[in-house]
Amino acid sequence: MPEKPKKLSYYFFFVLFHPDSYRILLGFLAAILLTPRIAPPDLSTAGRAMLYVMLACIGYAIAAKPAVWITRALKKWLLGEVPKK
C-alpha cells in the first residue's frame, strides 16, 4: 500500500511540536540580541559574523531544556495530552 502524500498541515504541526524548532529560534534570538551589545565597535564584518554564529550555537545548546518545556506546554495546551518524559 503506497504511503499518502503528506500535507502542509503535517509539516506545520511537526515543526510546531518539535523541540529543535524552538532551540533554533532561541539560538537566533540570543545571537540577534547579544551580538550588538558585546561586539566592540572596531570589529570587522567577518568578526561580527563569526561572533553571531558563535552566539547562535551557544544559544542553541543552552535552549535544550526550555525548548522541551515549551513543546510540552504546547502539546498540553493544544492537544490536551501530557507527553511522557
Distance CA 62, CA 65 (A): 8
Q: Could you give the number of structural domains in the chain? A: 1
- pTM for this prediction: 0.78
Q: Is 17 exposed, middle or buried (0-12, 13-18, 19+ CB in 10 A)?
A: middle
Residue 83 has pLDDT above 70, yes or no: no
| Model confidence pLDDT, tens digit, residues 11-39 | 898 888 899 999 999 999 999 999 999 99
Measured distance between the N- and C-terminal CA atoms of the chain, rounded to whole angstroms = 33
Give the rounded percent of residues in the chain with a pLDDT score beyond 90: 61
57 within some domain: yes
Q: What angle do CA 23, 56, 45 make, to 5 degrees?
A: 155
Burial class (CB in 10 A: 0-12, 13-18, 19+), 24: middle
Q: Please indicate, yes or no, if residue 23 is contained in any of the structural domains.
A: yes
- Is residue 50 domain-resident? yes
Identify whether 72 is part of a domain. Answer: yes
Does residue 4 lie in a domain region? Answer: no
For the CA atoms of 80, 82, 83, 85, what is the dihedral angle to 10 degrees? Answer: 160
Owning domain of residue 55: 18-78
